Structure 1
């Protein structure tokens, strides 16, 4: 806590909006308003003949671009009169307002970005939905996520939000454990039921079109007549676009990515906490949550929906930066509440993992904080009344071991609520990476193992550990074997031309996992599992390896790609684009003269991080 500091939220602008949008419910269309009274205040320094002139430019998805997710389509700029009805099928827009004075070129006064979520439902569809909700209601589903937020850090840094999700109807999955290192494998498990390894058997994820073939759960919601949406901030590290091609076809009905790419390219971008913070006049975070509010407003009482909102901008790099987000996120949650979201919908507030490096990761609780992300599930009153047996299971499961794959199965369960067991789920709707995983609305086994939950040995938090003395020949032997394995791996992956070989500098800590008495251990009787934190040369890289050591054969078993890097590495790994290898490649052109082991302290703004 000596490194814990509270941050205040910085504003992106101090002027008023010149152009705002309002939904016209009679015409089922957006209308734009130009606030000339606001403009007059801004024009005080101009002469009396100064006038205001506004224009707008439609922005859309560029379907013909080789990688559509990395592009956008911009239309011709046209005049923007007051009370303009936004042309239908307009998803996004950039507005520009100019000061015009005689004999002077127009001066740009304000530019802004607007999003529109129109519903294209027929009136009969909305009426049919209203009738169905009275007889046999279908829950809408909204997933909201903050990157790198452990269940403990939510309490530490965001007490207002934690108080909100402690109200009746919310259930915290305190045994929820991550299944992969960074964002991609954890969200892939939630949304598609796959691990990177199982998906690789279907297609090459680095090739355009691969992700389109994955069984993302929003596809099933769409086939069940749900309206779907997906929004994420920080273009450079979007979950399915960081060192990946994203989607060839638009994955959901309402997709923020083209707008995000456009505004980060066209507007001034201010960085704070390591990533895009202010994009133009607004917070990168607000674009996502305002988009979510529009989505809720359009469909809450007209059609069931599935939405996924994800934010990286505040929480990705620094565990204390969430303190600046607390009141703002609470404000958005209250706006969702006023809109009626919590009367109708299943709402999930979650994260992918906790902090993976620096101060918090180096703390005594860091090992567990990285592996235990926050996970809260809200169940509305009508659902609690109609399905008390399912809610009773949710209550039991709060303190039992669960994983991302279980959440994936829960999402499927919400589309077949009359199921009585996992036997009712079709094979195509089961998690490929974890066939034994199940919905959180069914009771989980009390003595469940990590293996049953699809959690690999490296991420398992169930076994207690014993810390060994560092300065022993045995510990040194394992340390040298690990570093040798890393160098062999660099050679096997043909990285030695770009990446420097490692030498062992120092072993920071060595733990041995103790066997559990419940028969849930998966290792050979001659093998023991060790968790080692160690420093290497060059550049004083700090790693954590979970390895198996066979005492009889004196052999080491480890997957180098599963190494954890506990200090930041962006500026040391720019010579390669492989997501996993970036953790352990020290580029030869990045060698520094650091010889002493540095203290692991992460101060805000000090380093840009990596996904």
Structure 2
């Protein structure tokens, strides 16, 4: 019994000890929890007490710029609030802020509400067709074939067998593309898993099906563009340690506000990857050609017209890509939607390839407008997608060498029917892939446009006056450049909030070329803009439009003050503009038996005024409709004392509907309402 009692007593003591240990553990856990909660409360209290100080510190500004300070990036979402769920009344009643605010130039934050004109939901027609055959680059000059039979069977009848072949587009250096038929190699058998040698940049794939004895029918056709690597013949300097590449991606008719509203994924990517945004980038002329040529040559439209009309091949020596090529760079140029008369067409067309790689022959095989011109297709893929894929392959192929490439996209943004939001993910994917190729290590990437939308119903609003004049400019600076030349990077950061022009961008490209060539060079200034400069130097905040050769007609460094449509002086300015057009019409040459009708003022859409910087002159900006034709124009009228004169060209702001076809010159069509003469 004693033994039993002892065991029982030991059992009780063991259980008591176990309970005490559990109790101590609970006490420890409770104590730790209380300490954690107390710490969190203390942290929140400290944050609460210090938050106003931090907020004020962030919002404060300084005029002293230090090279070692990090760049501050402001999200575009903070500048352009999402207005998709707001009424237009609320949108236009917001307090006006400044897009650019310097002593020399103040541009108001005037933004067109593009959601009012475009449905931002995903388009039902966002793709050209289902691709059944895929070609992938597996090496420098090897292509692998992948065929999806389940998709290909949709193109066949009764699921019968089909046969495919491939051929290369031959592009001789001396070829007038528009006047000669495109030539190809023989079509060779193509099958799943085939690895073929890349012979030229462009591949055409065709598939056929037998429909009867010895009779076949084409059931499938597609196009692919790759970079066939060129072996350089010029020996590069090995003693130069600063070799930088340039890749330029352009979007036609895309203002910064339009980009911010329609391509939010792309904007987020640029912000998250610390791209520089130049908010004061300003156009210098009306349409694409002069603004793009200012970037590529540093010359204005007058000089280009005199030097290059009908002899663009000879003028190719003036292009910035030719300067890079002379320094041993591989060059490329590509542009889609060739039916547009905006860039290198008509009097400024190239008969020979201007660069080492030239995408124009690829699109000459046939682009097709679809869905009310909201999508442009080449084969089974959108033309814009072909363009970006070609640009990516170009950068990846030559990333260990020196390259300069410009790729200009028209198809997703040229007019109001275009849907840039359908290209948003495409651009995000492109920039992501470009990042992971390793090409950005020593490459400047410039993402830019020429101007905003110039035609359409939205141009009737005052905000569109600024939207047309303010394209966008982003720049990705290679890390190696930032490490070696921090002062130049600091200048770029400061110039994000300065008035900037395409001439400045040209000077910047010239300096990149000179730095890469290890030259101790003098400043290269555009001959038509002595006040312009490289963005690697700080631009003065006192810069005005007149300092950088921006005509008063295009300058937007002012607020527009509204006038009522019945204002006497405002109405007089509209009458003067119509009289000016009628005087122009008298000099227009037309086809035999045709003439231009005299125009009359139908009604005034809007009238605004502003003063010159010195308050010496008064300017009227008037939008009006004429009859016959009901065409809308916008004019700037200068009032000096008692005289009033039209300055700069008069802009058409209504969609061009094919009027004026009886004239010989395209520019005359915008003002001529054709009428057949009775006695002819």
TM range (shorter): 0.7 to 0.9
Correspondence for 1:60 among 164, 171, 177: 171
Residues 1:504 and 2:601 are matched in the alignment: yes
Partner of 2:541: 446
Distance (whole Å) between structure 2 residues aligned to residue 416 and residue 40 of structure 1 = 52
CA separation in 1, counterparts of 2:179 and 2:224?
19
Pair 1:228 & 2:331 matched:
yes
Structure 1 residue 309 displacement after superposition: 1.0
TM-score of the pair, normalised by structure 1 = 0.83
Report the equivalent of 1:412.
510
1:487-502 equivalences under 5 Å are: 487-494=582-589, 497-502=594-599
Number of aligned positions between the proteins: 556
Tell whether the 8 Å contact from 1:70 to 1:258 is kept in structure 2 after alignment: no
Deviation at 1:69, TM superposition (A): 5.3
Change in Cα spacing, 1:384 to 1:47, as seen in structure 2 (3 Å) is closer
Task: Say whether residues 1:433 and 2:547 are aligned partners.
Answer: no
| Secondary structure of residue in 1 paired with 2:350 | coil
**Alignment of structure 1 residues 22-41 onto 2, 5 Å:** 22-24=137-139, 28-33=140-145, 35=147, 41=153
| 3-state SS in 2 of match to 1:252 | coil
Match of 1:570 among 657, 660, 665: 657
Name the CA shift for 1:101/1:445 in 2 (closer, same or farther; >3 Å): same
Listed one character per residue, the Cα deviations across residues 567-607 of structure 1 (whole Å, up to 9, x for unaligned) are 11132233335343333233337xxxxxxxxxxxxxxxxxx
| Helix, strand or coil at the partner of 1:161 | helix
1:270 deviates by 3.8
Q: 1:167-566 maps to which residues of 2 (within 5 A)?
A: 167-203=272-308, 205=309, 207-209=310-312, 212-213=315-316, 215-237=318-340, 239-264=342-367, 269-272=368-371, 274=373, 277-301=376-400, 303-318=401-416, 321-417=419-515, 424-426=522-524, 430-494=525-589, 497-516=594-613, 525=616, 527-552=617-642, 554-559=643-648, 562-566=649-653
Residue 177 of structure 1: SS of its match in structure 2? coil
| Alignment deviations for residues 430-467 of structure 1 (CA, whole Å, 9 cap, x no partner) | 32321221111111111101011221111111123332
Whole-Å separation in 1 of the counterparts to 2:489 and 2:256: 21
**Structure 2 regions of 5+ residues with no counterpart?**
1-112
Check conservation: 1:169, 1:381, Cα contact below 8 A: no
Corresponding residue for residue 35 of structure 2: none
Paired with 2:231 and 2:146, the residues of 1 have a C-alpha distance of 29
* Structure 1 position 474, deviation (Å): 2.4
Q: Secondary structure at the match of 2:532?
A: coil
Counterpart Cα distance in 1 of 2:653 and 2:345:
20
Task: Tell me the distance in 1 between the aligned counterparts of 2:407 and 2:231.
Answer: 23
Provide the secondary structure at the position in 2 that maps to 1:187.
Answer: helix
Cα displacement string for residues 163-206 of structure 1 (whole angstroms, at most 9, x for unaligned residues): 11113431111011001111111111111112221222324x2x
Please tell me the root mean square deviation across aligned C-alpha atoms, in Å: 3.0
Q: What is the alpha-carbon distance in structure 2 between the residues aligned to residue 422 and residue 577 of structure 1?
A: 50
**Counterparts of 2:121 and 2:202, CA distance in 1:** 32
Q: Equivalents in 1 of 2:611, 2:204: separation in Å?
A: 59
For structure 1, the 5+ residue unaligned runs are 590-611
TM-score by length of 2: 0.75
2:128 aligned partner: 12
Does the residue aligned with 2:440 lie in a helix, a strand or coil?
A: helix
- The more displaced of 191-200 and 139-148 is 191-200
User: Of Structure 1 and Structure 2, which has the larger fraction of its residues in helix?
Assistant: 2
Tell whether the 8 Å contact from 1:69 to 1:245 is kept in structure 2 after alignment. Answer: no
